[in-house]
Amino acid sequence: MTSKPTVLIIDDEPQIRKLLEINLAGKGYLVKQAASGKEGLQMAASHLPDAILLDLGLPDMSGHEVLRKLREWYSRAVVILSVQNNENDIVRALDNGANDYLTKPFRVGELLARLRSAIRYNDTNANTQLIEAGDLEVDLGARLVMRSGDVLKLTATEYSLLALLASNKGRVLTHQFLLREVWGVSFQAETQYLRVFIAQLRKKLEDDPNRPRHIITESGVGYRFQ
């Protein structure tokens, strides 16, 4: 990317917008702001930002509606800001195409990291064959997973699950999404499969499966590979 990446903030709280602006501008982003859903949609269309930070609680229309309208034409990163840990809300937004989420109050460091990873997701694409994360390498072309250079023995289901998580590195994938993609639509509610296989994968991938560094649990929402 040659010019500064543009970020659009859609949030009705002036204090949050100010805080975000100071931090994002300081990190070299070009910051645009909108205080309502309607304004946000207009500015998204006129500025074509690289990423949008969208608050779910807007005065004029719900953040979900803004997201739905955005996703009709906007395919770049959308990161959700939500006031409290309302998992239903977050899962809904992620299933409707949000790339990631943060709950207020959030830590600025975390926000910047999530934003970076969401914008990176714009550039990469599903074509990437080799995904690296620390000591792990997932080679989608050869269907191989290596840990510190050694090939790991994974079952077919473990591999499908890991490949899906890895090709969405940095993104939260919801329980329902993972179950649907790996096991099939009729397994969407069978979260016990997911728990068991994630535990198995962690035993093979992680140094300490109880303190996972690669497959991170997002309580009540899903999993994230990093």
Partner 1 sequence: MNPQGMSAKKTNKMRQFLIGMTSVTLLSVACYALGDLIDYRAVALLLLVAVSILAVLFDILPVLAAALLSAILLNIFFIEPIPHYKITDTESVLLFLVYLFIASVNAVLTNRLRNQEKKIRDREEKENTIKLYNTLLNSLSHELKTPIATIIGSIDTLKETDNTIQSVQRMELLSEMEIASTRLNNQVENLLNMSRLETGTLKLKRDWCDVNELVFLVIHKLHATDTHELIFDPDETLPLFKLDSGLMETVLNNIIHNAIRYTPQHSTIHITTAYDETHLWISIRDNGNGIPEPEISRVFEKFYRLPNSGTGGSGLGLSIAKGFVEAHGGTVQVMSYLNKGTTFTVMIPAETSYLKSEKDDE
Residues touching partner 1, count (CB under 8 A)? 22
Q: Of the two residues 18 and 68, which places its CB atom closer to partner 1 in the complex? A: 18
Residue 18 binds partner 1 (CB under 8 A): no
Residue 197 binds partner 1 (CB under 8 A): yes
Residue 4 binds partner 1 (CB under 8 A): no
Q: What x-and-dash track marks residues 127-166 binding partner 1 by CB under 8 A?
A: ----------------------------xxxx--------
Inter-residue contact 24 to 7 (CB < 8 Å): yes
Q: Which helix (H) or strand (E) holds 163?
A: helix 156-167
Q: Is the sign of the CA dihedral 182, 184, 188, 193 positive or negative?
A: negative
> What part of residues 101-120 is at the interface with partner 1 (CB under 8 A)?
105
- Tally of CB atoms within 10 A around 211: 8
Only one of the segments 1-9, 93-101, 131-139, 192-200 lies at the binding site for partner 1 (rule: CB under 8 A); that segment is 192-200
Which residue shows structure tokens 């949609």?
Answer: 41
For residue 94, give both structure tokens: 């992620």
Cβ contacts of 87 within 8 Å, gap of 6 or more: 219, 220, 221
Among 25, 48, 130, 199, binds partner 1 (CB under 8 A): 199
Inter-residue contact 43 to 52 (CB < 8 Å): no
Which residues contact partner 1 (rule: CB under 8 A)? 84-85, 87, 105, 155-158, 175, 191-193, 195-197, 199-200, 210-211, 217, 219-220
